[in-house]
Amino acid sequence: GESVGLHLPTLSVQEGDNSIINCAYSNSASDYFIWYKQESGKGPQFIIDIRSNMDKRQGQRVTVLLNKTVKHLSLQIAATQPGDSAVYFCAEKNSGYSTLTFGKGTMLLVSP
């Protein structure tokens, strides 16, 4: 299940399940979005990106969906594995700026 509180929002799934991590962004001028995975003690690792002229992009086992109407981004991970356990951050870039703004992050815990 998913929990939100004083701690990082956490999504707990079983190995083999499909996972969906959500991100709401606030700036309607954002035109580029990235998902990063950050394992404990490591830097963020690029997973997949999408531009605002698309609503879906697929990678290996991952799919990013973009709904500009409601300013929502999601990351779908198929057949989740214990190695997918990490904190996932979405990041957005405003078309008028060159830097990224990171979302709060979601911790994904995968049980064997």
Partner 1 sequence: DTEVTQTPKHLVMGMTNKKSLKCEQHMGHRAMYWYKQKAKKPPELMFVYSYEKLSINESVPSRFSPECPNSSLLNLHLHALQPEDSALYLCASSQVLGNEQFFGPGTRLTVL
Binding residues (CB under 8 A) for partner 1: these are 7-8, 32, 34, 36, 41-46, 49, 87, 89, 93, 98-100, 102-105
Task: Tell me the residue type at 62.
Answer: V
Residue whose CB is less far from partner 1, 69 or 98: 98
Residue whose CB is less far from partner 1, 11 or 44: 44
Smallest separation, CB 31 to partner 1 (Å): 10
Instruction: Give whole-number Cα distances, 21 to 75, 83, 98, 99, 101, in Å.
Output: 5, 16, 25, 23, 17
Cα distance from N-terminal residue to C-terminal residue, the chain = 16
Residue whose CB is less far from partner 1, 42 or 60: 42
